[in-house]
Amino acid sequence: MTSRIPRDSRLRLVRPRSLAAAPRAVNQRPSRRPAPRPPEGTPARSELARMARSELAGAARVARWADSALGPGRGGATADGKATLSDATAEQAARDLGLTTAQVRADWDTARLAGLVEVHGGRARPGWRLRAWHRDDSAVLRGWVALFDAWSLAFPEPDGHAPAAVAEVVSAMPQVLSFLQLSAGPVPVPQLLDLLEQRVTELRTERCEIPYGPQPEPVAPQPDDAPLEPLLDWALRALASVGALTYGDGQATLTPLGSWAVWVKLEQICVAAQSPAGNIEQSAEAMLRGCAQLRPNAARAEYRAWLAARPVGSAVAELLGAARGEDALLRGLAFEALRVVGAPAEHDVRAVLEEPTLRPYALLWLAEHDGVDPEDAHEVLTREEATWLWVDTAAAVADHGDAPLLVRHLESAVQPTVPALLEEVRAVGHPRTVQVLVALAAAHPDPALAKAVRRAAFQVHTGAG
């Protein structure tokens, strides 16, 4: 009588993919809130993408030139051989493209802000949006929204103003833009100035702190506070330079792109505010738990709204803190949220590469950030790292998913056979190994395979060879 325990049970492998993708499917339920529709009169998405391509045409042209002239193996066009916009590079681009060096530099800066060019460690390379420029309207629109978000960097601020005053105007402009969006037409600049002054006053009041202890005699308010008119003029010109509005004849009007972008951002905030847990005001851990029930698109909208309400540095630190906890599902979701953060999180993500618990997630994040296709990002992991991540993801599924999902997770293992998987899982030393194997044995419908998995769990638990 032959044993029913498989000696070489072949796994039916699925298409290789990032092992971090498995937590995305855990407990996903249909979003309670139907997809909102943009205001009446908003152009179709394809038309908005056409407008965005037109606005970013110069930036895309310079980015493609840099990809061709400065890319690896193409004989760099700069004296130092780096893909950076040195004086020599700018002059070469100007000659090749029939532009002035000032135009080249302006388009280069726009390309960086829109994510068409990414700079890593002093070197520039094409962003994924440039690769998808002609085939992916969403990538184009995300690039333009990234430029819209960075409007204050796209146009030089006027001289002679305190940095604090500039920062106040930048912080107040979302309310001004919301008013423009609701007005759905031209608004006189004096009306916008009045709104800006009110919002800046509110910001100063919110920031006001009363120190403890005896205080000196109050100082009378200074009547010569810097006027806000020049800074409003700068903000409107900057927003006009990125294509968000038109500005002239004493009035401003949002363009269709600008109106759509403001609506999108308002919707992101509303999604978070209407979530059962009030995610926008929650800690990173509570926010991630609230997002665990959502579909990926809805979860990303929550991440964006949560991030928009916090300084980037503290938000990234809080997400990584949540990732260090014991819940493997939160670990995967935290790195999904960090994908929404993008480039500003790179330094902090690199800093956790020495932490075994976070290293596989960080490696996948960095690979995708560097332009590797998410389907192929798993190739940056060693066999041991991939196995550790498989166990960590299985722990998330065991804690938050269901039995069929755990059985399907078996197919994502890099090992070609069950015995090979069990051997490497035992060797990798994940703290949840026993619980994962016990859960898998209980869930799997094949008695022989379940018995082999239970034996492996017992051996890990007892330390047997």
Residues contacting residue 109 through CB under 8 Å, at least 6 positions apart: 154
- Region 314-330 average pLDDT: 91
How would you class 432 by CB atoms within 10 Å of its CB: exposed for 0-12, middle for 13-18, buried for 19 or more?
middle
**Confidence label for 153 from pLDDT (cuts 50, 70 and 90):** confident
- Region 133-159 average pLDDT: 87
Q: Residue 151: which H helix or E strand, with range? A: helix 151-154
- Nearest-angstrom CA–CA distance, 23 and 330: 9
Task: Give the number of other CB atoms < 10 A from CB of residue 354.
Answer: 9
- Nearest-angstrom CA–CA distance, 307 and 336: 12
Among the residue ranges 65-79, 211-225, 342-356, the one predicted with the least confidence is 211-225
State the pTM of this model.
0.55
Q: Residue 118: which H helix or E strand, with range? A: strand 117-120
**Confidence label for 268 from pLDDT (cuts 50, 70 and 90):** low
Six-digit token string for 390 = 């498989």
- Nearest-angstrom CA–CA distance, 317 and 130: 30
Q: What is the pLDDT of residue 122?
A: 60
Three-state DSSP class for 413?
A: coil
pLDDT in tens, 160-218: 888 888 888 988 898 899 999 988 889 999 999 999 999 999 888 876 644 444 554 54
What are the beta bridge partners of residue 126?
Answer: 117
- Phi-psi group of 73: left, alpha or beta (phi > 0 → left; psi -120 to 50 → alpha; rest → beta): left
CA distances (Å), 23 to each of 53, 394, 396, 413, 436, in order? 35, 9, 6, 14, 14
